[in-house]
Amino acid sequence: MSLPASSPTLPAGPARDVLAGDALAGGTSAGRMPAGGMPAGGMPGGGTLPGLVATACRVLAADGQDHFCFGHVSARGADGGLFVKAVGPSLARVTTARVAEISPDGSLRTPGLRLHEETALHQAVYAARPDVGAVVHTHPLAVQSATTLGPLPDGVFSQDDVPFAAGLAWYDDADLVADTARAQGFATCLGGARGALLRAHGLVTVGADVEEATALALLLHRAVSVRLAAMAVGRPRPLPPVTLDRLSGAFEAGHRGRMTAIWADACAGIGAAAGDGEGDGEDR
């Protein structure tokens, strides 16, 4: 896991606003994943985008990434809009009824639902990264704890770190990413990486689709948890370069299949079909 010492200097930005507005498509940053944006219905393997978002929320909750009513998952729609968890339930209780839809022009298509302030983060990432089809932002206890220490030491320390070997962004600001300026600063900090750690805050992962972004969030949570546990009793040692090169080659060659397998297993663990949006969640 390679972490820069600090993020770029970020603009202070205006007062926080619930941003339902900036363009969600376009951007020029190069990425490693195919272009994002899936239709709301007829998803590969079944399910709908709102259903996938809802299922992902509950998968993340089962992994210990729930934090009261905070944290959110989003997916880019085929028309350039997006679907995102709305304000209200915890991740464990999200169903399709609690997934908001935002049009490409930023208007809310689901009356009666409110957006998290940090919806701005999702919008900025989509604008900067046309390769991204889904974004996860959560506050796992281990990640919040570890990031209070500052950037984690450079290196890849476990197999769960390997998908982030090419770089994991470090966002050196503990404030909410809740206005246009901060959100754009975060997207710049993320660059072409698959994920980021946010100081005393949490994690962000991105993927070509909800399945990949969620599987990466599961892996990053575990990687940080392993690192934190090891740091409590000693000084973790990174994987030797020869081992890392071998693992990176194998993991990248099988990346898509591995992400799909992790997603399917996690969905089975909560008693949900992959992407049905229902199962154990409540709608309150």
Question: How far is 284 from 265, CA to CA, in rounded Å?
Answer: 27
Identify whether 55 is part of a domain: yes
Structure-token pair, residue 269: 């663990």
Question: How far is 264 from 169, CA to CA, in rounded Å?
Answer: 27
Identify whether 200 is part of a domain: yes
Domain that holds residue 263: 49-268
Give pLDDT tens digits for 130-180: 999 999 999 999 999 999 999 988 899 999 999 999 989 999 999 999 999
Identify whether 76 is part of a domain: yes
Give pLDDT tens digits for 206-260: 999 999 999 999 999 999 999 999 988 999 999 999 999 999 999 999 999 999 9
0.85 exceeded by pTM: no
User: No. of H helices and E strands in the chain?
Assistant: 7, 7
Identify whether 17 is part of a domain: no
C-alpha triplet 274, 110, 25: angle, nearest 5°? 75
Domain count, the chain: 1
Q: What is the CATH number of the domain that holds 62?
A: 3.40.225.10
